[in-house]
């Protein structure tokens, strides 16, 4: 008696999951099926995302252009590059705003999202990096109790997990 809407988010090209579900819905309920394809951000939207995340003066246009070019319009890639700038101290929070430091001159913007994430993980303290490795073996999602069981030899897991949440490498 009630209307229900299902919003399913899939990456195209995954036959066993998203593609199979989409084909089933198209076949059985074509009148109710609506597909919205999210396109990559264009250059101006990519630049706006960078500026909205950092909202700073002094970030060289060449660096912004390089981020835009390498990201290919992928907002997740852009966010991770900006987070890597913060992790590396190339951008710091000061008096409620972000400022560019001279470390910006040594920053290398990776070519792929995998490279960005691996660089961020590689910069972690060894035991925290090992905790991330344990979690990644469990899977994209992991239960706290399972992680603490398999990573028993790593002390201070709660603080390490809090730090990983703080730097947005994991989330609840």
d(CA 68, CA 53): 14
User: In the predicted model, what is the mean pLDDT of residues 21-26?
Assistant: 88
Residue 57 pLDDT class (50, 70, 90 cuts): low
Residue 156: per-residue pLDDT: 94
pLDDT over 80 (residue 11) = no
Residue 58 pLDDT class (50, 70, 90 cuts): low
Four-CA torsion 11, 25, 15, 42, nearest 10 degrees: -20
pLDDT over 80 (residue 73) = yes
User: In the predicted model, what is the mean pLDDT of residues 134-153?
Assistant: 91
Name 93's bridge partners: 98
Residue 158: per-residue pLDDT: 95
d(CA 115, CA 113): 5
């Amino acid at each position: 008696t009630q209307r229900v809407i299902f919003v399913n988010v899939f990456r195209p090209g995954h036959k066993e999951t998203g593609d199979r579900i989409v084909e089933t819905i198209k076949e059985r309920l074509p009148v109710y099926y609506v597909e919205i394809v999210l396109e990559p951000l264009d250059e101006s939207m990519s630049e706006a995302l960078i500026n909205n995340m950092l909202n700073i003066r002094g970030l060289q246009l060449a660096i912004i252009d390089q981020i835009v070019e390498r990201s290919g319009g992928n907002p997740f890639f852009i966010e991770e590059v900006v987070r890597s700038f913060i992790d590396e101290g190339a951008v710091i929070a000061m008096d409620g705003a972000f400022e560019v430091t001279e470390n910006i001159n040594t920053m290398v913007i990776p070519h792929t999202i995998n490279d960005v994430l691996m660089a961020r993980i590689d910069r972690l303290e060894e035991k925290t990096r090992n905790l991330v490795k344990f979690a990644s073996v469990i899977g994209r999602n992991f239960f706290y109790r399972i992680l603490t069981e398999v990573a028993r030899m790593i002390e201070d897991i709660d603080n390490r997990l809090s730090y990983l949440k703080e730097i947005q490498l994991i989330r609840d």
